[in-house]
Amino acid sequence: MTVPPSVTPDWSFEREHWRRGHFRVAGVDEAGRGAWAGPVTVAAVILPGSAAEYPFRDSKQLSAAQRERYAQVVREVALAWAVEHAWPDEIDRLNILGATHAAAHRALARLDPAPQALVTDYLKLRVSLPLSAPPRADALSYSVAAASLLAKTERDRVMLELDAQHPGYGFAGHKGYGAPAHRAALHERGVTGAHRRSFAPIRALLSEPASLFGDPD
List residues forming the annotated binding site for a divalent metal cation.
29-30, 121
Rounded CA gap, 50 and 74, in Å? 14
Closest CA to 25 of 11, 39, 5: 11
Cα(132)–Cα(203) distance, rounded to whole angstroms? 35
Largest CA distance in the chain: 63
ω before 113 within 30° of 0 (cis)? yes
Report d(CA 95, CA 158) in Å as an integer.
20
- Rounded to 5°, angle at Cα 45 from 44 and 51: 145
* Of 103, 93, 85, 101, the residue nearest 197 (C-alpha): 93
